[in-house]
Every structure is written in C-alpha cells, then in structure tokens.
Chains A and B, each alone.
Chain A
Amino acid sequence: MAQTAEAKTIEEATVTIVSPQGRPDEKTRRYDRQLRLWASSGQAALESARILVISGGATSTSTLKNLVLPGIGEFTILDHLPVTYADAGNNFFLHVNGIGKSRAEEAVSHLAELNDSVKGKADTRDVNAVLENEPEFFLSFTLIIAVNLSPEIEDRLAQALRSGASTPRDTVPLMIVRTAGFYAMIGTQIGEHTVVDAHSETPPSLRLDNAFPALLEYARAIDLDSLDSTDFGHVPWVVLLVKALENWKQKHDGQLPKSYAEKQELKKSLEKMRRRGDEENFDEAVAQAYRMWTPTVVPSETRALLSDPSVTTITSSSPSIFYFLLALSHFVQQHSYLPLVPTLPDMHTTTDTYVELQNLFRAQADREMLVFEDCLKRAVEEVHETWEERESLGLGRAEVKEFIRNAAGVRVFKGKKWGSVEPSEIEASDQKPVTALQNELESGMLPAPAAVYLAFLCSADFYSAHARQPQPTEADNQLLTTYATQRLANGGWNGELPETVTTALGEIARAQGSDIPTTAALTGGLVAQEAIKFLTRQYVPIEGTCIVDLIRSTTGTLPF
C-alpha cells in the first residue's frame, strides 16, 4: 500500500527529533480518551485490578473485551468446557478452528491480543471443584463476574466470598449475570462501597444567598451608577446578584425572600437595575436569580452519611476517606455548609474582572481549607494517630483539596448480599419479586422488570429440576407457569398470573438459554461499565438488580 509506506516515512522522518517538552508517554496517548473520564487515579485502580470471569461464553468475552481494552491489570477465565459450534457462532473470541479445545484457553488467547499490557490466564478447572476444594482461590481477586452459572453455584460463590472476608469492607465484589435471548439480569454482591467521586453534574454552590465577606466587600465597592455603559454591561452576574440581594436584605431585616411573591419581587428589583434592557450580563443574572434565595445547606445525602456509624466510629484502620468524612462532620458542625469549591461558572465579563473574581473565590476556598484541615487534625488525633503522619495516612494537602472538590459527591454504600437459598431467607426472597410485581401492576409500569426477574428465577427452577434449559413447548411452558404460580403464592400473591409474567415466561422458553450477540454486546458493555465503577470508586453504580429487556429496548432496576 503506497499510502501506508508514505505514512511510515513521515513517522520515521520525525521520530528522530524528540520534543524537548513533556511529550506524553505511549500509555497516556493510548488511554487519552478514557483518562478524560476517570483521570489517572481511576486508571491506576484499573491497572492494579485482578478480575475473574467464570465461564467463557459470549457475554463473558464481551464483558472482558471492554475491560481489557481500557487496561485492567490481569484477568482469569475459569471454564472447564470445550469450544462448541454454537460458541464459534455467537462468540467473537472463539473460532471454528478452536472447536473442541478449552474454551478458557481459546478465549484468553484471543482477548489478550487486544492489549499487550494486560495479563490473561486460563483456568480449566470446574468451578464446582474449586468451590469444593479451594474456596480461598476466589478471595485473591479484586472483582469476580459470574456469567450464566446455576443459581446454586452463584449462591455458593457468594457465600464463599462473604465468609472469606474479614470485614464487610473487604468483601470481593461479585457481579452475577444471566442472559436468555433478549433478556439479561445483572445482580451484585458487594461489601461496603465508597464512591470517592460521583462526578455529579450539579455545580458546587457559590453561596450567593450569604456571600462571603470578601465577595460582599468587592460587590459593594462597585458603584454601578458611575460606570459607563460598556463597563456597566460587563459587571459579572455574580456581583449583580450579591448587590441585588444585599439591597433586599437591608429592607427585610436581613431575611432571604421566602414566598413566591417575594422571590418575584426580588427578581423584579434586579430587572430594575438595568439601563437599556438588553444587557447580556443582566440576562445571565436573571437566569441565575434562584441562587439568591436558595439557602446554602449541607446536602441531605451528605448529612446522612456524616452521622453514619462508619464515620462516627472510625478506627486507625479505616481508609482515609473516613478520616475526611469525620473531619467534614466537625466542619459542618461549625458551619452550615461544605468547604467552598472555587469553581466559577462562565459569565459575561472581561478577562481581568473574571480573574479578580476567581482570585476572591480561591482565597476564600484556601481559608476554608485551612479550617477544614484543623478539623482533620482533630479527627486524626481522635483515633490516636499523629498529625505529622498525615502524608502516610493519605491525608496530604493534595488529597485534602481533592476531597473538598468531591465532598458533595462522596457516597458510602452499605453493600448487599446475593443469594436466595439461605434457609432463613427463602420466604423473604420470594417476597421480593411479589412486592415489586405488585408495585409494577399498580403503577402500570411497562416493561416489567419484576416479571422478567421472576421468569429468570423460574428458568433456574426448571434447570434445577430437569438439568436442561426450558424449550418453547407447551409442556415446558406449563412447568414454568407452575413454578411462577408457586413462587408468587409463597410470596402472598393471590390471583391469576399477570400477563407480563406469562409473556416473560414465554420469552424465556423461546430463548432456550441462548446467549445472543446483541444482548451480549449490550450486557457486556453494561457489566464492564459497572465493574469499572466499582474498581475506580468513581461514578454511582446502578441501584439494585438490573433487568435488561431488549424486546422493549430498555432496562429497569429492582430495589434488591
């Protein structure tokens, strides 16, 4: 190819001249597009991850592809089965010439080609045998994804991970994935999970309802009447709001407007400050007017988190995030807000003014950071550590700044168990879909995730009883219906099977346990995405059990 030859020449011609400045290394260039999402801290977490995927079917390899590409450290496929014709038809990483060979080994060799820096291992043992003889094997991974296993094995695996964990915090996260035709289900078992950066889309508060002293002083110093019309049109909206609100407060005993009428009145008084009527900075101010009467508070989720025992009773072995949270609870006791994040939104003004304003916010943020550090020092001393050790505890200045920036987005999830076969929980487990199903029917909610979930359970019942997948025959449909009726009755459901359930059962039978490419592609993306959230501790994971219904092109979640 002439074109390629020429392109290479260009590369060779320039490769000898090395840029004197920081040229990013090859890894940074390869991962450029994702680093812009989860930053190098997230990338480091991925690169130290060891992931186990049990079974090498289509959804498994689709998921792994999406984890190998962004560069996890290492993966293992545990699968004792050989490659079949069907595998070679629905799995991009298994080929016809591998039929009869180990599915784990074939899949690993093809997946490893995707990224040289990721190590892949094949384990050809039967998962049953490993659970029996070496349950501690599973504890050596950062995250485990179990795809299309029998419910019994899923439960034993979940149990093994729970009993192997010294504290809930250390439980190896387990993702349970089942697929059948156009349906899929994703469940999780996770110990305590902390999201250090939720990447919330809500911008941090500027606290304009109660401007900090330096900002107030700055705003007061600007005499609007003395400005020429160009300067008048470039007074930033932040200043306009502070001025308008100050006037209001002077006339109202220092109170914020409360009622709708009062708010409108304040807004009108802002409009009255215009000269011509089309000043762009005033347009912005009016659009941001709500900031004047929105009281700055500690978000309720954060407040709840701060009173949680995991925060109030930290020990010297708690991760650094809990020291920060304890410090934050001290901080909010003194102040009714979170430490200021110096992020100034866009505004119509001059560069110089913008920079001045930004400096004001930065200086204030620095002051509050020092106050926060005092709180942090107190927290450290409460658990009998010394403040001098802050760096080694992961509480250095850089970490403090990062925590403050993300403080409103920190979440701690208490975790949840997976499993339906613990004797004490059997009834409760059937109660769950019934309640969800009732909610679905009452709300007329379509599609029906609870119905699909129930169909998955019945399909598993079928498999346990007959050691095969249900087929789209009348007899099998009848059996599935029986299981469903039974499960619903156990959960206190009286009445006919809802139509959503019969539809879902029919679809499960039609699917015959198949792992089809479209479902595998979508589910693989979804599961890998959730895995990345768990590994990086960034972004909020999906709540509860996720049901994928591709007949209706949608997903739903169930609250368990």
Chain B
Amino acid sequence: MGRDAYARAILGKDLFAQLGNTRVLLVGAGGIGCELLKTLLLTGFGHITILDLDTIDLSNLNRQFLFRKKDVKQPKALVAADTAGSFNPACTIEPIHADIFEPRFDLAWFSGFDIVLNALDNMAARLHVNRMCIAANVPLVESGTAGYMGQVQPIVKDRTECFACLPKDTPKTFPVCTIRSTPSTPVHCIVWAKTYLFSKLFGESEDDDAEFAEALKNGENPTEIAELRVEAAAFSAIRSSLSSPNAPSLVFDKIYNADINRLLGMEDMWKSRTPPVPLDYTAIRARSFVLPERKKPGTVKTTNASTNSKALVNKTVNGLKNGKREANGSPDSASGLKDRKELSLEDNVELFASSVQRLAARQASTSQPLSFDKDDDDALDFVTATANLRAICYGIPTKTRWEVKEMAGNIIPAIATTNAMISGMIVLQALHLLKKAYHLIRSVYVRKKPHSPLGTSTMVPPNPYCAICKDVYVPFPCNPEIAILGDVLRAVGVAKAEDEDDDDDEDMNRTENEKELREAYVYEGNRLLFEPEMGENAKKTLAYMGVTWGKSLIVTDYEGKVVNLVLVLLPLPPDQGDIKPFVVPAQLPPLPSRVLPPVPSEPLTPAKSLKRSAPEDEGEVDDTRAIKRIRTEGGAVKAPTGKETNFREENGVLILDDDEDDNVIQLD
C-alpha cells in the first residue's frame, strides 16, 4: 500500500489530484492553525501559505503542538512550517511572519489562492479577510474556538452568508471620564492601568487630543476633560525620569496622590459619589499609613460612573465585574496557587515598585516603546498592582493577579481537543468547497450537549442588507502617490462636490462620464474621507489620506439608492509605467439597487417613540441614516490601524482589545 493510498481511495482520484495543485492560504498559526496545517498536509494539499504575526508563548504549548519550549519567542508561522514541513516534503509551505493588513497582501495576492482558511483570533482581521475574499471571490472557511465551544463557517460569495452578514458583538467600551476619573468597578481600574497608564509610562507616546475632542463631542464633562488634559501633559516629565532610582515613588506620588488630590478639588464631581482617598507612598512603605475612613454612603447612594453617556453600558460593566468575580474566586482559591493570593495594600505597593523598575530597565535597554501583553509577567505585575492601588483609592474590591490576567487579557480558555475537532471540520468543508459540492457544505458548531456534540446547520443565503458581501467590488490599479481623490471619483461617475472653481482640464474622461454624476460619501474602512458638502479632500492624493494598496475606497451613494461601489486598490501593471495615476476599468459593473432593511424596532421608551413620530424624521433623510447604520452593523466597524484610530473612531471611548488569545494575529 502506498503512502497516499488511503487519501486517494477515500477522496477519489480526481479530487486527490486536484489537491496537489491547490493553493491554500492559512491565516493564523495558533491553536487552530497548527492543527489545520497538520491535517492539510496529511490530506494531500500541495501548496500552503501560512501567515501569522505572532511569536510563541509558553501558554501556547498546551495546544499548539508544532511548538516546543525551545521555540518560545520565535515567530509562529516559521516554526510551524519548519516542524510540519519535514513530514511531507511533497508539499510546499510558504511561511510568512507578517500582519495580514499589510498593503502587499492586496486583492491580487488573495486572488492567487484557491481557498482561504481563517484560523484567527480577532474580529478586525476576520472581517478584513472576509472582505478580501468576497472582493476576490475566493471561498473562505471561517472558524473560531473558545474553551469547549467551536465553530466553522464556509463562506462563498453570493451563495452563503458572509462573515459580516450577521452583526457581531462590538467590543466593550467605557466613557473616558469613567476610566480616568470615576471608576466604579475593578474592570474600570484594569482598563485604566492597561490601556492608559501603561502606555503613558512605557508605551508609544500617544496624542490624547483626538480622544478628548471626541469625548467632548459625546457630551462628557468639559471641566473634567480640561483637567485630564493637564494630567496627561504631566506624564512627559515623569517619563523622562523613569530610569532614576526613585522612579517608583515619583510615579506613585503623581498618580495616587497628586492626581487624586486634584480630582478631589473638583467638588462638583463628588456631590453624589464617594470621593477617592489619596495614598502616601512613603507612609505605606514605612507601614505607618492608615487608610482614611471612607464616607459610608446611604442605603442607595449613587456612586456610579459618569452619567453623561447613555452608551456607557453599565450592564457590561457589571457583567464583567460580577460574572468574573464569581467564576474565578471559586474552585482554585483553596488550592493555594501563588498568583491567586489576595494582595494587601503593602503587597501591591511592593509589586508596583518592582514592576516599574523592571519595565523601566527594559525600556532603557531597548529604547523601544513597550506594549501590554498579558503573558508578559512584568507588564501583568504592573497592571495588577496599579489597578489594585487605584481600586483601593476608590473603595473598589481588588483582584488577584490571576483574575487581572483574565480580565486584562480577555483570556478565553483554550484546549487542544476543540481545536482538533474544528480543524477536521474545516478541512472537510474545504474539500466540499473545492469539489464545488455546495449542497454538502455546512456550518458546524462544537458544543457541550451530551446527546449531540456537533451541531450542524445548512447554509443561509447572504443577508440582503449586508454592507459587505452585497457591495460591488472593483479592482482598482493605481499609484496612490499621484492619484487625486476627486479625479478618481469623477472617473467612476461621482461628483466632486462644490469644486466648480477647479480647472477641469485634466478630466480626460469627462465627456464620457459627465452625463450623470451622482453624489456620494466616500469611506476608507470607517473613516469618512469625503461627502458632498465637505469636499476639500477631493484635491488630495490617496496616499496623503493613508489610502494605499490593500485598502479600499468605499463609495456610498448619497441617496442610498444603490449598493456601495468598493474600489480595491492594487498596483498598476508594470507596462502602465509611473505616469498614470490610475486605470479605470473599461466598464464599471452596474450597481444593483440597495434593499433597505426593515426599521429595527427600538426598545419602547416614551422619549424615543415620541421622537420617531416627529415629522422631520420621515422622508429622505431616513434613507441615508439607514445606510450609515448598516455600515456599522454590517461589521466594517473597526479600522485596521491600531489603537489611535480606535480611540478616534469609537466615539471617544477607550477600547478593550478584542484579542481572544488563540491563534493570535495581533493588531496593536
């Protein structure tokens, strides 16, 4: 019996031969990725490209079986390819240690694969690959696991739902003031420590202005925001003295004494809240510090967070607080594992001092900004200590290091067994897709039901309101450095807005497309680049606005009558030289009419139902509002450009990473 005998017998000669020539893109070399690479090799796939941005961590080794202890800190994609590659030399494996968002992974690159398999851990990358696969019309198998649960979803453009057809949970968000001034739960303190304080001291020096501006726009307290600006500015002084031996006391005095006292000075803030108490570093270390007695609020007394933003999701806040507290305090508390010990005030101060020194030493030795990583012990120590000390100031329960890790890292349990099952299912669906046996493809769920461990559902046709897979995608070869947005728009039949003073000489195609220019909004990701009333960007180059190869211009009809036109940027063919800014496709495909979603039924509150019946809300305006809403609900919600953008785009609130840990392709 030959080596491939089984595979050939069971798959049939034709499919088996086809597999040898099939080019697979495997995005992610983590828990699912490792399993999948193995199963693909054994099944007989001939060309596998495996891409991952991440490096190996010790906590990966309980399931990512292609990695050994000696591989820790090495790039996942390279080690996975190396370990697995020796198994079947007939297969070519191309490992890429990179971020899937890089411009080089453009439409043409995606089009070079016969099938794409997602083994990702974060929403942004999933949505991106989904969109690229829809644009390139390449079948995709999407997957994910969390503990005992798992899911596989085959995606074929126009045949099945795409990943964005169903709205996804958006990341939990908190108003700036809750995080910076008035925390009321442990998770507020952890978010403050991890997202704000850590990066202020050791991370990329960020510009807060955009965030503050957005917070103001959302109606947060202007006085508070003004104070926060002052507070933020004072960090640059602290940063420069991090290498001095008394750095811990400097930092401590600023954040737990000076800042708290300054907040206490804003008396308005504490009228209905229990005020925080400042801490004294020297006194605590000398064991002479006595925590001042806190004013005991009445039976039902508001100490709750900012009342400004309705969207502050108290439920989520409390959900995290209480859910996690109970879930974790439990079975292990008795087991005496060291990092599950409750830390006293003094313990926290010691942990604070030592972690500040360790992180400062690391930063000094590399002069690289650090970023929070839950598996980085120094960073986790720092976040644990600083979050707990803040909690003590505010009279909030503290958390053990183990609990902080789970909350700060958004840790999702992960085991080999679920990943193994899911990988088997992914390959099966991939085989069906390659055979074009569409009647056999299924969405599959691994679940905890004792009578039926796998759940299966037949494929659902695309959501007619989906803002991703119902759009029309057009490859758009261009040189972003010289392509002017206004010219691009005119070339695809969109008016440049009130630009009549412009000299239109350069418009070669004018006579052809002039006939009926429509008005439109233009987005890149979630960024609005252009709208009819605000046309100044029309004169800028695409590159100037950060729109490069691999990204897309989304042209949304002003009146919402037709679906979006998505221009997917890619390099000009070599024979087009450097002179041409872009090539318009000979014929733009027609844009089908947009199906408008039924008006979602809002929760019945008197205020809102009143508003709904107001006459000025009827009519045309509603259409565009509806479209904007789909844009966010459909899933193209998170810009792929890291924290800064997140702050700006998510309505001025801080964001917890959406990092689910497994198969990490991290974005920030």
Contacts and interface: CB of A to CB of B under 8 A. Distances in A.
* B partners with A: yes
Nearest to B67: A114
A556 B362 CA distance: 55
B601 interface: no
B42 A19 contact: no
Contacts of A9: 365
B193 to A, nearest CB: 16
A346 B424 contact: no
Contact of B301 (A96, A231, A280): A231
A21 B380 CA distance: 12
Contacts of A35: 332
A225 to B, nearest CB: 13
B322 interface: yes
B401 A88 contact: no
A398 B332 CA distance: 10
29 contacts: A6-B366, A7-B55, A10-B365, A17-B357, A19-B351, A21-B401, A23-B377, A37-B415, A39-B330, A40-B335, A70-B415, A84-B1, A86-B3, A89-B4, A91-B42, A348-B318, A352-B395, A354-B322, A402-B331, A514-B6, A517-B424, A517-B427, A518-B39, A518-B428, A524-B420, A525-B419, A526-B453, A540-B448, A552-B442
B303 A65 contact: no
A544 B69 CA distance: 39
B417 to A, nearest CB: 4
Contacts of B9: 510-512, 514
A541 B9 CA distance: 34
B148 A21 contact: no
Contact of B5 (A39, A89, A551): A89
A557 B298 CA distance: 57
A188 to B, nearest CB: 12
A69 B332 CA distance: 21
A519 B11 CA distance: 12
A71 interface: yes
Contact of B65 (A69, A88, A546): A69
A4 B73 contact: yes
Contacts, number: 340
B545 interface: no
Given A19-B354, A553-B429, 12 more contacts: A21-B401, A23-B377, A30-B58, A33-B412, A37-B148, A69-B416, A89-B4, A89-B42, A280-B315, A346-B315, A346-B322, A525-B424
Q: Which 8 A-B pairs have the closest CB atoms?
A: A22-B338, A522-B424, A525-B420, A521-B424, A525-B421, A517-B42, A89-B3, A346-B318
Contacts of B59: 29-30, 32-33
A182 to B, nearest CB: 7
Contact of A39 (B331, B351, B362, B451): B331
A505 to B, nearest CB: 16
B355 interface: yes
B417 A525 contact: yes
B303 A351 contact: yes
A297 interface: no
Given A13-B362, A37-B148, A92-B87, A7 B73 contact: yes
B185 interface: yes
A22 B401 contact: yes
A370 interface: no
Contacts of B6: 86, 89-90, 514-516
Interface in B347-362: 347, 350-351, 354-355, 357-358, 361-362
Given A17-B357, A398-B334, A235 B448 contact: no
Interface in A79-103: 84-86, 88-92, 95-96
Interface in A527-560: 528-529, 532, 539-544, 546, 548, 550-557
A556 B453 CA distance: 8
Interface in B255-309: 272, 274, 296-304, 307
Contacts of B422: 525
Interface in B608-630: none
Contacts of B377: 19, 23
Nearest to B458: A553
B43 interface: yes
Contacts of B236: none
B61 interface: yes
A25 interface: yes
A114 B322 contact: no
A353 B335 CA distance: 31
Interface of B: 1-7, 9-10, 35, 38-39, 41-43, 55, 58-59, 61-63, 65, 68-69, 73-75, 86-87, 147-148, 184-185, 272, 274, 296-304, 307, 314-315, 318-319, 321-323, 326, 330-332, 334-335, 337-341, 343, 347, 350-351, 354-355, 357-358, 361-362, 365-366, 375, 377-378, 381, 395-397, 401-402, 405-406, 411-425, 427-429, 431, 440, 442, 444, 448, 450-454, 456, 603, 605-607, 661
A222 B304 contact: no
B335 A41 contact: yes
Contacts of B417: 66, 525-526, 528-529, 532
Contact of B425 (A114, A402, A522, A542): A522
A214 to B, nearest CB: 14
Given A90-B42, A517-B42, A278 B607 contact: yes
A17 B1 contact: no
A26 interface: yes
B43 A517 contact: yes
A14 B335 CA distance: 29
Contacts of B58: 26, 29-30
Contacts of A91: 42
A91 B6 CA distance: 11
Contacts of B358: 14, 17, 19
Contacts of A542: 450-451, 453
A540 B347 contact: no
B10 A227 contact: no
A307 B126 CA distance: 51
Contact of A351 (B2, B185, B355, B456): B185
A525 B298 CA distance: 54
Given A69-B63, A524-B420, A551 B350 contact: no
A70 B298 CA distance: 50
A181 B321 CA distance: 48
B339 A277 contact: no
A343 interface: yes
A405 B322 CA distance: 16
A95 B606 contact: no
B422 to A, nearest CB: 8
A230 interface: yes
Contacts of B420: 62, 65-66, 521-522, 524-525, 528
B305 to A, nearest CB: 10
B332 A528 contact: no
Contact of A516 (B10, B402, B411): B10
B38 to A, nearest CB: 5
A280 B406 CA distance: 28
Interface string A334-372: 000000000111111111111110000000000000000
A180 B303 CA distance: 63
Contacts of B299: 221-222, 353, 356
A35 B286 CA distance: 38
A36 interface: yes
Contacts of A109: none
Nearest to A223: B299
A444 interface: no
A40 B339 CA distance: 13
B97 to A, nearest CB: 9
A497 to B, nearest CB: 24
A529 B150 CA distance: 13
B395 A351 contact: yes
B212 to A, nearest CB: 26
Contacts of A14: 358, 361-362, 378
Contacts of A523: 424
Nearest to A97: B86
Nearest to B336: A40
